[in-house]
Every structure is written in structure tokens, then in C-alpha cells.
């Protein structure tokens, strides 16, 4: 610990902390814009400058370590003038059409401008425009880029994809796709981490709300909506409603107020995915010619990563469709038959914590029947929140309502799909039941332990040891896949999620600047699993009814048609 003085008050702080960390730890707020702890501590924006006694220049507090006896001043005239000057320079190169920006009301730059009282800028406006394919799920507006470099850092340091890079130097410096390529020419996984880490609206998602509104308002169209497990832990964050009060029942009620005809839970198709994937795992394990592992395939960002980075390993992906696509296939088949309508009459919409789902539902090869899309549109959690505002839904005044039947019941196993390790755990629970004829002790079945940048575990099925591994974040995924491919490690079953922490930290989730919420959200999903009446996918009565009435059994010919796909045929 060291002794420092901030604005005339003495504090004892950690000796390895920066001035910014020390100040905030003691309730002294120093504004910052480009700073993101442990990711982007480069002092690029110069908004966090402070004055230190004995130094003849202002210094950035985000990357300057404290020293014994240091005297810091955070509100001198020189500091305030410099901060305002730097903000004004940023504004002169930033498109300030805030009312039409997706980040309006949730923008770090807006907050800084208000905090510093900046009302005008004396500098000539110099805003750069560039072409972008707005049909792409990830949208970049260069006129809003403030060159904070967060997108570069998270894509390189965390995801290891290096999609973004700096171009030119000095005042001509700009951020763009690496090597002057277009976004379609690089191996972007569409994880969306650059979007959630951008402090302004320079990076966003393609807005599909108008398409969905048109379907809702068309009396000839039957709208069916499904909601992913990870959405329930984040959908009400921006409303001020506590997670414990923002229950799935309240979420179902909110969706009905928007105007959807049928409201279903993707937990149902998560359970369906487990039935197929668990059975597929056992089939592969019984095949002596199969050399593991089998990789889970429900994350389209991960599938894109495999196809572009490790094409020789794509055949090891489970052929089971993701819960989003399974739900769509069952909706256009099983549910359409129950309604006695043609599949074309149904518009199937998903609400997902993900950008890559927008791409996945548009992949022609994933659909069960030619010319009929399993899922017609995929909205992010953020778009769901926008829909609620557009429909004037007061989420604080909603009652609890059940999801519709016959695809509205989910289990705890389906719920944990939304957090890292959940897909693998849910699949293994059911695989164990299929082999052993009884359920495992769900909370004592196995324990994942740290191994390098991934986690692993081992358990027995009728005397055979099964080795499993889990990784989230594409940088970690790369390390694990390379270890497997080189023969350094061997596993039978591997789960990988493109986003750190799994879907809870997805690129389509609500953005709280400077905060990583995947862990908190994931813990909530685990809690819901432990409190669930049903915790095994094979015990879901509506899944049992689906197989009895329509699919026959897992991996049946009909199940293969509707619920499986060949990822090698997917076009990026």
C-alpha cells in the first residue's frame, strides 16, 4: 500500500493501482472515454487527464501508476480546460445525429459531454464517411468512430480474430477492417464483442425491427416468437427491473403486449437439441472408427470460426441444429400441422443474445425444406428492448403469464444453455440417463477444473471414461482446438461458445459501458436451473409428446430431416 493525496485528501491505496483506479476506489470520479479495464488502458482519448504536483504536464490517469507521496489534482482549471478541449476535438470528427443513433441514451460520449458541460465546439467539422454493406449483420458507421481502439483490442486480445486495425498515422489515423479489406473478406465470426465494447454507435447490429413489425401488423401472417435462455437474464436490465422480478412469466406477458400471436420458449428446443445431440454423442462414441472429439454446434459464431479457421475440423461438429433453428423447423412442421396451415403462413421470429444468429437463420443449407426458412428473422435482446419501448409496454406493471403450448415448457437443462458449460452439462445429463437408465446426481455428477485457458472434466459411462472440455471466447477456443489437433490433448466431447462467458455475454445483449456482465447473468441462469421443477431434457413432457406424435425418436429419419444439418455446406 502507498499513501497518496487526491484533491487535498490523503488516501492509502494499492501500490499496483493506476491513478484512475485509486481515485474511483475512493469515490473520486475521473471521467474517461476510451478506457476499459484490463483491455484498453492506452490513454488515447485524453479525457482522464489529471495534474500531478511536480510534473510540468498533464498525464492520463488510466495508465499512470501511483507512487508514494503522489499529490493528484483532478479538478484544476488546466485539467478541466484540457478535458473540454479534447472532447470538442472528438465532437468535431463525430456525427452527432444522436436521436437516430442506436446508442442514443446509452452512449459514453453523450455522458462525458453532459458531465463536462460541453455545449459548443469551436472546431470545423471534419467527419469521415465510408461505404458499408448494411445488409450485413454487423454494421459500422465510420462517421461515429472516435478512434478509441476498443474494437481492435477486444477482437485481438480476447477473440484473437484481428478483424479491425489502425490505418494511417497522425491526424489521418482511422480505424477500419484490416488490410483495407471489406468485412466480407475477413474471417469475422460475428461474435459482436466489438459492438458491446464500442462506447458510441460506431458499431451496431443490423436493425430488423421493421421487418418484424410488418409481420405483426399483417392480419394474414401468423407470428410465432421464441426467446433464448440468455435473454431472460438481461431483457429488463435497462428498465430498472431486478432480475428476480423480471421472470420468464413477465417476459412472456411483455411479448404478448407487443402483439405476437404465439409466444414460446427456446428452452423447449434447447431440450430438443439435447435429445438429439446427446444421442448423437453416444452414437459417435460407439463407433470405433470415430476419432473424437464431437464439438457442440449450437453457437453460429463458433461454427463460422471453425469453417474459416479450422475447415479440416468441421466434420467433428455435431450435426444437430442450434435451438433457434430446431425451433423454427418444428414450428414450420409440427406446429403448422397442428394449426392446419401452410408453413408459408407462419413468420417465425427469434429473440437472441447474439449477432451471429441473424446470419445463421439466413443460411440456405440450414433450412429443412427448400424455399422455406426455418426462422424468418432474428432480433437481439437490444432490439427486443426497443420493441417494448415502441409498443409502450410498461414492464414494471406486467403480470406473470405462461408461454404457449405445445412448445412452451423448458427444463433447467435448457436454461443453462445460456452460460458457458451449460450445453455440454445438459447433454451429458441426458446421455448418462440413456446409457445408465437413471438420472445422475445432477449437482455432483462431475466438476469442471481449470486446464490452461479452458476447463475439463472426466466421468464414467458403464466403465468407459469420458473426457470433456469447455471453452468460451474465440481466443481460448483457438488454443483448445490447436491442442486437440496437434494431439497434445484428447477429449470425447467439447463445448465452445464464441462469446466470453457464453450467450450471457453475447454481442446482442444490453450494453453497460465498462462492465462485463456474462458472469453475473450466468450465475442467475444456474440459479434458475437449480430451482427448476424439471432439470433433465428427457423429462420435458412436451419433448416427449413431440417424439411420440411427430419425430418418432432421436436420430430418426424425420428427426434427421428437421433437426440436423451439414455445416460443411453452409456458405459464409
pTM above the 0.75 mark?
A: yes
Q: Is the pLDDT of residue 426 over 90?
A: yes
Is the separation of the CB atoms in 382 and 511 below 8 Å? yes
| Domain with residues 2-91, CATH architecture | Roll (3.10)
Per-residue confidence (pLDDT) for residue 194, from 0 to 100: 98
Q: Which single residue is written with the C-alpha cell 401488423?
A: 217
412 strand-pairing partners: none
Helix, strand, or coil (residue 494): strand
**pLDDT in the model for residue 244:** 83
The share of the chain scoring above pLDDT 90, in percent, equals 91
CATH 3.30.70.20 domain extents, the chain: 128-206
pLDDT computed for residue 238 by the predictor: 82
Return d(Cα 229, Cα 503) in angstroms, integer: 9
pLDDT, residue 424, reads: 93
Round to whole Å and give the CA distance between 531 and 525.
10
What band does 405 get if pLDDT is binned at 50, 70 and 90? very high
Round the average pLDDT of the chain to a whole number and report it. Answer: 95
519 pLDDT band, cuts 50/70/90, is very high
Q: What is the mean pLDDT of residues 50-73?
A: 97
Is the confidence at residue 109, as pLDDT, over 80? Answer: yes
> Looking at the chain, which residues constitute the CATH 3.10.20.740 domain(s)?
2-91
CA gap 91, 98 in Å, rounded: 12
Cβ neighbours of 467 (radius 10 Å): 16
φ/ψ of 107, rounded to 5, equals -125, 125
Nearby residues of 16 by Cβ (< 8 Å), 6 or more positions away: 65
Cβ(469)–Cβ(483) below 8 Å: no
Instruction: Calculate the alpha carbon distances from 164 to 86, 147, 214, 338 in Å.
Output: 24, 11, 35, 48
Q: How confident is the model at residue 444 (pLDDT cuts 50, 70, 90)?
A: confident
pLDDT at site 490 = 95
Residue limits of CATH 3.40.50.1780 in the chain: 210-569
pLDDT in the model for residue 351: 98
d(CA 37, CA 59): 18
Q: Does 258 have pLDDT greater than 80?
A: yes
Please say if the pLDDT value at position 169 is more than 80: no
**Helix pair 266-286, 323-330: axis angle to 10 deg:** 110
pLDDT digits (tens, 9 = 90+) for 547-559: 999 999 999 999 9
Per cent of the chain over pLDDT 70 is: 100
Q: Does domain 128-206 have CATH number 3.30.70.20?
A: yes
Q: What is the pLDDT of residues 9-43, one digit of tens each?
A: 999 999 999 999 999 999 999 999 999 999 999 99
211: pLDDT strictly greater than 90 = yes
Residue 444 makes CB contacts below 8 A (sequence gap 6+) with none
Task: Pick the closest to residue 542 from 327, 336, 224 (CA basis).
Answer: 327
| Other residues' Cβ atoms within 10 Å of the Cβ of residue 49 | 24
pLDDT band, very low/low/confident/very high, at 443 (cuts 50, 70, 90): confident
Calculate the CA dihedral of residues 529, 533, 536, 540 and round it to 10 degrees: -130
Cα–Cα distance for residue pair 505/493, rounded to 1 Å: 23
pLDDT value for 170: 72
* pLDDT class of 239 with cuts at 50, 70, 90: confident
Alpha carbons 222 and 241: distance in angstroms, whole number: 30
Question: CA 9, CA 268: separation in Å to the nearest integer?
Answer: 57
Q: What is the pLDDT of residue 374?
A: 97
Beta bridge partners of 461: 464
Judged against a pLDDT cut of 90, whether residue 439 lies above it is answered with yes
User: 210-569 sits in which CATH class?
Assistant: alpha beta
pLDDT of residue 454: 97
Q: Is the pLDDT of residue 291 over 90?
A: no
User: pLDDT tens digit string along 329-372?
Assistant: 999 999 999 999 999 999 999 999 999 999 999 999 999 988 89
Amino acid at each position: 500500500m502507498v499513501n497518496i493525496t487526491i484533491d487535498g485528501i490523503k488516501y492509502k491505496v494499492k501500490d499496483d493501482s493506476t491513478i484512475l483506479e485509486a481515485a474511483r476506489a475512493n469515490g473520486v470520479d475521473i471521467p474517461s472515454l476510451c478506457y476499459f479495464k484490463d483491455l484498453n488502458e492506452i490513454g488515447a482519448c485524453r479525457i482522464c487527464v489529471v495534474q500531478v504536483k511536480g510534473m510540468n504536464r498533464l498525464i492520463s490517469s488510466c495508465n499512470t501508476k501511483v507512487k508514494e507521496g503522489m499529490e493528484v489534482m483532478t479538478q484544476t482549471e488546466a485539467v478541466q480546460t484540457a478535458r473540454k478541449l479534447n472532447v470538442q476535438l472528438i465532437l468535431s470528427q463525430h456525427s452527432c445525429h444522436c436521436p437516430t443513433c442506436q446508442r442514443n441514451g446509452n452512449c459514453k460520449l453523450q455522458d462525458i459531454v453532459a458531465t463536462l458541460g460541453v455545449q459548443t465546439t469551436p472546431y470545423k467539422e471534419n467527419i469521415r464517411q465510408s461505404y458499408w454493406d448494411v445488409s450485413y449483420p454487423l454494421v459500422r458507421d465510420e462517421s461515429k468512430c472516435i478512434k478509441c481502439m476498443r474494437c481492435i483490442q477486444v477482437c485481438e486480445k480476447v477473440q484473437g480474430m484481428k478483424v479491425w486495425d489502425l490505418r494511417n498515422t497522425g491526424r489521418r489515423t482511422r480505424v477500419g477492417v484490416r488490410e483495407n479489406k471489406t468485412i466480407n473478406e475477413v474471417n469475422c465470426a460475428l461474435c459482436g464483442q466489438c459492438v458491446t465494447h464500442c462506447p458510441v454507435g460506431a458499431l451496431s447490429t443490423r436493425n430488423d425491427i421493421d421487418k418484424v413489425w410488418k409481420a405483426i401488423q399483417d392480419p394474414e401472417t401468423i407470428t410465432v416468437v421464441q426467446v433464448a435462455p440468455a435473454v431472460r437474464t438481461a431483457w429488463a436490465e435497462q428498465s430498472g427491473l431486478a432480475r428476480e422480478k423480471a421472470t420468464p412469466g413477465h417476459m412472456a406477458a411483455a411479448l404478448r403486449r407487443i402483439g405476437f400471436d404465439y409466444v414460446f420458449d427456446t428452452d423447449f428446443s434447447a431440450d430438443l437439441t439435447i435429445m438429439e445431440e446427446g444421442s448423437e454423442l453416444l452414437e459417435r462414441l460407439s463407433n470405433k472408427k470415430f476419432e473424437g472429439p464431437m464439438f457442440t454446434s449450437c453457437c453460429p459464431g463458433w461454427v463460422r470460426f471453425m469453417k474459416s479457421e479450422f475447415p479440416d475440423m468441421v466434420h467433428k461438429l455435431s450435426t444437430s441444429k442450434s435451438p433457434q433453428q430446431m425451433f423454427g423447423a418444428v414450428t414450420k412442421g409440427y406446429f403448422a400441422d397442428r394449426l392446419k396451415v401452410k408453413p408459408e403462413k407462419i413468420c417465425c421470429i427469434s429473440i437472441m443474445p447474439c449477432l451471429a444468429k441473424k446470419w445463421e437463420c439466413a443460411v440456405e443449407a440450414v433450412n429443412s425444406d427448400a424455399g422455406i426458412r426455418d426462422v424468418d428473422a432474428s432480433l437481439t435482446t437490444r432490439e427486443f428492448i426497443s420493441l417494448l419501448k415502441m409498443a409502450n409496454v410498461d414492464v414494471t406493471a406486467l403480470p406473470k403469464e405462461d408461454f404457449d403450448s405445445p412448445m412452451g415448457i423448458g427444463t433447467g437443462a435448457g436454461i443453462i444453455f445460456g452460460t458457458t458449460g451449460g450445453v455440454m452439462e445438459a447433454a451429458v445429463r441426458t446421455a448418462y440417463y440413456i446409457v445408465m437408465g437413471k438420472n445422475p446426481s445432477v449437482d455432483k455428477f462431475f466438476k469442471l477444473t481449470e486446464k490452461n485457458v479452458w476447463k475439463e472434466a472426466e466421468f464414467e459411462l458403464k466403465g468407459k471414461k469420458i473426457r470433456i472440455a469447455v471453452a468460451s471466447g474465440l481466443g481460448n477456443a483457438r488454443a483448445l482446438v490447436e491442442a486437440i489437433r496437434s494431439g497434445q490433448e484428447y477429449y470425447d466431447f467439447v463445448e465452445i461458445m464464441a462469446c466470453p462467458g457464453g450467450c450471457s455475454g453475447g454481442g446482442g445483449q444490453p450494453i453497460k459501458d465498462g462492465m462485463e456482465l456474462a458472469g453475473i447473468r450466468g450465475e442467475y441462469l444456474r440459479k434458475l436451473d437449480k430451482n427448476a421443477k424439471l432439470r433433465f431434457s428427457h423429462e420435458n413432457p412436451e419433448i416427449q409428446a413431440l417424439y411420440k406424435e411427430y419425430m418418432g425418436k432421436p436420430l430418426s429419419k424425420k428427426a434427421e430431416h428437421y433437426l440436423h444439418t451439414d455445416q460443411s455446406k453452409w456458405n459464409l
